[in-house]
Amino acid sequence: MTAWLLRGILLAMPLCAYAAPAAADFRLCNNTGSRVGIAIGYKDGDGWTTEGWWNLAARSCDTMLKGALVARFYYIYAIDYDRGGEWSGKAFMCTRDKEFTIRGIEDCLARGFDRTGFFEVDTGEQRSWTVQLTESSEQTPQRPMPQAAPVNPGAPAAGQPAPPTNPNTPRPPAR
C-alpha cells in the first residue's frame, strides 16, 4: 500500500524575535497546502500530558498552549489529512483517535490508548515559541537533521519525517 509521504521542514523560532511584543504562547503554523492534525506532549509540575487534536487549515497558525511555557521541551506529532504522511519522532507518548487529554506516557496500549512517536522541540527556555511545519518542496535543499534532534532557533533546520508506521490508522476527527 503506498502512502504519500510528506517531506517536511521543521522550523522553530522564539516569538520574541518579532519586532512587536508577543504574548507568551506555544504556537504552531501549518505552512503546507494541506490540512494538518496536531497532538502535543509536555511535562509540567504534575507529570507528562499529551493533548490533541488541533486541526489547522492550510497556511494557518494556532495557539496550542496559552501563557508562558511551563517546560523547555515540547513534543509534536502531526498528520497530513489531505496527502497522507506525518511528522513524527522517537519520543513515544499516548494518543487516541478522538479529542484527548491524557496524563502519563507509560503503558499506553494497556490503558486503551495508541502509542505514537512524537518529535522533540527544544524551546531553549524561551517564554514563547512557534513551530512551523513546511513542505520540503517549498524550501531550498538543506542538510537533513534527525527528526528528534533539538532545533536551533537561530537557523532553520531541515528534517525528514518518518514514514507512517501504519497507513491504515484512522485520522483524528476535527477539533
pLDDT by 10s per residue, the chain, length 175: 323 333 333 333 343 333 344 567 999 999 999 999 999 999 988 999 999 999 999 999 999 999 888 889 999 999 999 998 899 999 999 999 999 999 999 999 999 999 999 999 999 988 899 999 988 654 433 333 333 333 333 333 333 333 333 333 334 444 4
CA atoms within 13 A on the CB side of 163: 6
Burial status of residue 140 (CB atoms within 10 A of its CB: 0-12, 13-18, 19 or more): exposed
**What ranges do the domains of the chain cover?**
8-159
3-state helix, strand, coil in the chain (%, to 5): 5, 45, 50
pTM of the model: 0.67
